[in-house]
Structure 1
């Protein structure tokens, strides 16, 4: 645990300076740092990138993934650093909220439809400037066996900006078996979840990156296509666990 804390402090401190550097250098730094953060927690990372080589250098894309743990953000950043959409409460957390704002986390207010359209428009503006935005369309964390429906609201940002969607599937295993310990369970805090993670044996995360999905005009169709790719063919879906109704990220029922 001490190695993780030390490295994370160093990574964040040095990371601030990368905000002044070019996109390529900045992204390379965060990809490497994210992989080292996972390693410091004893988590082995495997990346199954199914995209064509040229598309991996694409500027401006909406990343969407299933949501299991706070580790999801680190695992995704190890592949493609992005500005993440998160519930507004995350930006109000002592200490972490300041870091989240510094690195451009996009706030979302759950259940407030009046603020949804401006929030989606803000994400579309980021995409239109050639930046990458990441969102968890399920809108809450699940334990990895059961899953939630993909809510289509933020897919509209890709439609409006005319950028592709990149579906990602996150799968966690411990000693080769599905691992639920990485998720929020019951009244768990980030601290108790973290303690389980660092004490786990041979914990691993696999990030499967699917090929680009073009931004067709129908956001609901986009959501359905990505849900089928990420969850519908996931063999872990048959390993049934009850969902955990807690949220680190945001989406909408719209």
Structure 2
């Protein structure tokens, strides 16, 4: 068996996805489709450029991510809340951590800073995103195989030692954005072993025009990739959304310290500072009396 008792899971599913989100007109769908086809056709060229000129590989991945993000119609707003001194701590590489909502998270975070991602092992086999993943040299992780986890941590450590940046999603699985899981500490060990600062990132998607069946701060679950939805169905649904913007905030980096569980907790508190868990969407959590902000961090 590949699954184990520590396998990440979330209660999010179909009920978390708005039933009637604001949709774009057919003409806009055609424009987006043309943009997506252009981006898909350009990705192999960007990968080829990266093979011959490794120094521009990450820049090529950034271009590809921006093109695909524009094609699916998601806007991007980035707010840097760090001081100059805090920025300097991550200038020569860092471990970037964020909550995980959707496959679109990769498209959102790639343009912000060139980096490698720790992502599900089968991502390279996905249509379109697989090409982008290969160009970025994604570090694959199979969370169903617990014994393989130390090897993945070693790969992250090696990249950090070389001064690179690695982006990880410590929840280990996707949540809808109105509920969220604890940051698991395993990947934080790489930051401790290499004495690398950790950059927490707050990520949310907001609906700027539609009927917000969400919290008062406009956070939407429209982009979430949860439950039994297939990647094809998710792409088709998100492709038709209107007025969705990804908001990213870079907050103060965290010193690695000596305890991965403490580091995970510090980063989780930093990322979740303004989050409000919606218990009406998640009766499983409500019945269990679980407060996601107080959920123990697992290895």
In the alignment, structure 1 residue 50 sits paired with structure 2 residue 90: no
Q: TM (normalized to structure 1)?
A: 0.85
Matches within 5 A, 1:34-49: 34-49=65-80
* 2:50 counterpart (5, 8, 18): 18
Gaps of 5+ in 2: 1-31, 210-217, 284-296
Q: Which residue is 2:187 aligned to?
A: 154
CA distance in 2, matches of 1:234, 1:99: 31
Q: Which residue is 2:178 aligned to?
A: 145
CA contact (8 A) 1:86 1:108 kept: yes
* 1:219 counterpart (250, 257, 260): 260
Q: Which residue is 1:202 aligned to?
A: 243
CA contact (8 A) 1:69 1:184 kept: yes
Q: Which residue is 1:63 aligned to?
A: 96
Matches within 5 A, 1:21-170: 21=53, 23=55, 25-53=56-84, 54-55=87-88, 58-93=91-126, 97=130, 100-170=133-203
Gaps of 5+ in 1: 244-251
Cα RMSD (Å): 2.6
By how many angstroms is 1:126 displaced? 1.1
Distance 1:34 1:236, change over 3 A: farther
CA distance in 2, matches of 1:56, 1:74: 25
In the alignment, structure 1 residue 6 sits paired with structure 2 residue 37: yes
CA distance in 2, matches of 1:98, 1:230: 29
Give 1 or 2 for the bigger CA radius of gyration. 2
Distance 1:42 1:140, change over 3 A: same
CA distance in 2, matches of 1:175, 1:93: 29
CA contact (8 A) 2:36 2:72 kept: no
- 2:70 is paired with a residue whose SS is helix
Q: Which residue is 2:274 aligned to?
A: 234
Aligned residues: 244
- 1:169 is paired with a residue whose SS is strand
| Worse overlay, 61-70 or 77-86 | 77-86
| Worse overlay, 8-17 or 67-76 | 8-17
